[in-house]
Structure 1
């Protein structure tokens, strides 16, 4: 099952897969050129599912989250950075 981005705010991104939800912290940026990032995602915040609470994501799920976020921003012509 693929992750679906359900919400992007200036401070986080929420993704859903089935009945599970994951929240990744980040920061929206004001890019002064098209080649500069418009969003930075903090990978150290990608640890646990938000729903169900206190359940760890495995490495494959983390990579799927990163891929879904990358595709979301690329489809919109935006540059994203992961830290």
Structure 2
């Protein structure tokens, strides 16, 4: 699958892959230095697809979502942390 970050807010991130959507909770942070994270992702909220509803993500899909989020922030010169 190829995930693309389509929306980042101060409390969540949405990604899509073809006609599927994923929603993961997180929190925007105010980094005081360039080496501090500017966003934290709560991995315990990465469980199911938003669309189709209530379908569990596989472990491989979760890792792809994490990779897409990491790339999104890296491409913008920001650091993301996963908890």
How many residues end up aligned between the 2 structures?
A: 83
For 1:79 and 1:18, locate their aligned partners in 2 and report how far apart those are by CA, in whole Å: 26
For 1:70 and 1:26, locate their aligned partners in 2 and report how far apart those are by CA, in whole Å: 13
What TM-score do you get using the length of structure 2 for normalisation? 0.98
What TM-score do you get using the length of structure 1 for normalisation? 0.98
Q: CA deviation at 1:57?
A: 0.2
Counting only pairs closer than 5 Å after superposition, residues 1-83 of structure 1 correspond to structure 2 as 1-83=1-83
Q: CA deviation at 1:42?
A: 0.2
Q: CA deviation at 1:27?
A: 0.1
Q: CA deviation at 1:31?
A: 0.3
Q: CA deviation at 1:41?
A: 0.2
1:18-63 CA-partner distances (Å, limit 9, x unpaired) = 1100000000000000000000000000000000101000000000
For structure 2, the residue ranges without an aligned partner over 5 or more in a row are none
For structure 1, the residue ranges without an aligned partner over 5 or more in a row are none
